[in-house]
Chain A
């Protein structure tokens, strides 16, 4: 990251800084493992995720089926790591969308006094809705599909980033070097991107990590409620939804995808907290 290298001229290497922070290191490690499992699912999975085997339905976890099988005899372990692909994709895409929309809105609101009134009110209004309800409404309005879920979650989480960016922009806009840049004829858009946005890399990164976690959780929630991606597509949310009916006989159907969600969200939160500590100079004790 360019911003990190800029500040690390005289400070310890970035890898050292990360390893010094246990939460950040653990979180990152878990995320890396989960991502690898998901990406390499075709190589790792012992069975195809959709392979039916009626004779082996609802088998408990064993050496043959690490996480057991579901009501159609499909291997839960294979399905869980395949589902990780989609769950992570939805989280990442929603975060990217939220970041694009949120950063743009935040910069505009922070920079242009006239736009600020309108943009800030819209942001406030959107933040007043509970996340999940707004997402459900959006999915209902747009029709459920993978793309709609991503768009809905992106829209729901954009205001969080917009707020952070707006607040920081208001501060940075008044700094002497921004005024100096203006006095030397630097155009506004260039000040916004080069001088303001570059300074916001760390708060945006931290916030984006949290949004990633929220978005994955929300996707699981939407799928569980049946308003997310279609039930045939394995995501952790749809797997839990499917396992709901069998929770008395085959709790492994819900436990393992549930664990996957918990682990992923937890590790993302650890990374977010760790990044915040790492990137906030006031919380850094090693400098």
Chain B
């Protein structure tokens, strides 16, 4: 496997002040005997302080595996086989999450980095009251008594705009709606003031109005608390709503990272361009005589992570591909100072 070496000039542990997390050529493989599913194979991305980085990509592109790698919650046989995950702790120290001991990692989960998941209906333990679960979380990480923990749990419910928090504290998850439970999950995740919140498709299971409310809430909390968010989604509409920056993933790699406006205005990777063209648009997709036109899907399908092509993984589907693309995997190139792309031919876009 030929490897690219992005940002080769950087010092090993250097992390600019405004950066909370940087994945450097992260590689997470699922090893089954002689075969390896290269679910994440060279992910490089940066999350800035107080900002939201949206990670987009289709199913199987490696976005969830990337977030689970950061949390070090990979299920067997998944393993981080290479790369670094530099994280700036709240006290300013920089650690490499990829190699941290399990014990230190456990102290980071929840306190430094928290995660919320897609399924609000099942992410809470049905046997405990909501208050119990938030209090457990607080008392695990901080030496406070039950009374103090309860006061804080109540404050957390207020923070996520749950009405009648005193009553809600003593309710079980099944007594709440999906949107309410996702609010509780957010309260749970933020209970110990993490510096980074990883949200893995937190709104996918919710209907659109609730989705909008949750996004509003997350934006407001970010302003108030100042945490950074790594927001995993496949919904470009949600990206436009919440993200400051976007990282687009394809076949286990980040193919493009850019500020959200730049990316939507001028995508510098043919895959991103294809993705944007796939979004239905009532105006654009209607011919002059009023009949509906076909959508513009990207031809072909994603290569299997068990057999990635030697060169650019997108080359077989790419309208711009030339012979060079099939053999040499593109490095992460600067299309502009803030706009990174993994395309040899980005200047044509």
Q: Within A174-189, which residues are at the interface with B (CB < 8 Å)?
A: 175-177, 179-187
Complex Cα spacing A183 to B189, Å: 9
Q: Which of A6, A185, A194 contacts B107 (CB 8 A)?
A: A185
**A39 to B: closest C-beta gap in Å:** 33
Q: Say yes or no: is B122 at the interface (Cβ < 8 Å to chain A).
A: yes
Q: Which of A3, A180, A182, A194 contacts B185 (CB 8 A)?
A: A180
Known contacts A6-B172, A183-B71; decide if A195 and B125 are in contact (CB<8 Å).
yes
Complex Cα spacing A180 to B172, Å: 17
Residues in B whose Cβ lies below 8 Å from that of A13: none
Query: Do most interface residues of chain B lie in helix, strand or loop, or is the interface mixed?
Result: mixed
Q: Say yes or no: is B76 at the interface (Cβ < 8 Å to chain A).
A: yes
Known contacts A9-B172, A175-B122, A179-B73; decide if A185 and B111 are in contact (CB<8 Å).
yes
Q: Say yes or no: is A121 at the interface (Cβ < 8 Å to chain B).
A: no
Q: Which of A3, A180, A198 contacts B124 (CB 8 A)?
A: A180
Known contacts A176-B122, A195-B125; decide if A185 and B140 are in contact (CB<8 Å).
yes
Complex Cα spacing A180 to B191, Å: 14
Q: Say yes or no: is A282 at the interface (Cβ < 8 Å to chain B).
A: no
Minimal Cβ-Cβ distance residue in B for A182:
B73
Q: Say yes or no: is B318 at the interface (Cβ < 8 Å to chain A).
A: no
Q: Which of B110, B119, B122, B198 contacts A185 (CB 8 A)?
A: B110
| B141-A183 in contact (CB<8A) | no
Complex Cα spacing A113 to B78, Å: 13
| A184-B109 in contact (CB<8A) | yes
Minimal Cβ-Cβ distance residue in B for A184:
B110
**A17 to B: closest C-beta gap in Å:** 18
Q: Say yes or no: is A199 at the interface (Cβ < 8 Å to chain B).
A: yes
Q: Say yes or no: is B136 at the interface (Cβ < 8 Å to chain A).
A: yes
Minimal Cβ-Cβ distance residue in B for A201:
B127
Complex Cα spacing A141 to B156, Å: 60
Residues in B whose Cβ lies below 8 Å from that of A190: 140
Q: Which of A113, A180, A194 contacts B123 (CB 8 A)?
A: A180
| B127-A3 in contact (CB<8A) | yes
Q: Say yes or no: is B55 at the interface (Cβ < 8 Å to chain A).
A: no
A6, A180, A186 — most chain B CB neighbours (10 Å): A180
Q: Which of B107, B115, B125, B140 contacts A177 (CB 8 A)?
A: B125
Mask: chain A, 156-192; 1 = CB below 8 Å from B; 0 = not: 0000000000000000000111011111111100100
Q: With contacts A9-B175, A180-B115 known, what are 19 further pairs, Cβ within 8 A? A: A175-B122, A176-B123, A177-B122, A179-B123, A180-B124, A180-B188, A181-B125, A182-B73, A183-B110, A184-B109, A184-B137, A185-B137, A185-B140, A187-B140, A190-B140, A194-B136, A195-B125, A198-B127, A199-B127
The contact sample of 19 A-B pairs, CB cut-off 8 A, is A3-B127, A6-B127, A113-B76, A175-B122, A177-B123, A177-B126, A180-B115, A180-B117, A181-B125, A182-B73, A183-B73, A183-B114, A183-B117, A184-B109, A184-B140, A185-B109, A185-B137, A186-B110, A186-B140
5 nearest interchain CB pairs?
Answer: A185-B110, A185-B109, A183-B115, A184-B110, A176-B122
Interface residues of B (CB under 8 A from A): 71, 73, 76, 106-111, 114-117, 119, 122-128, 136-137, 140-141, 172, 175, 185, 188-189, 198
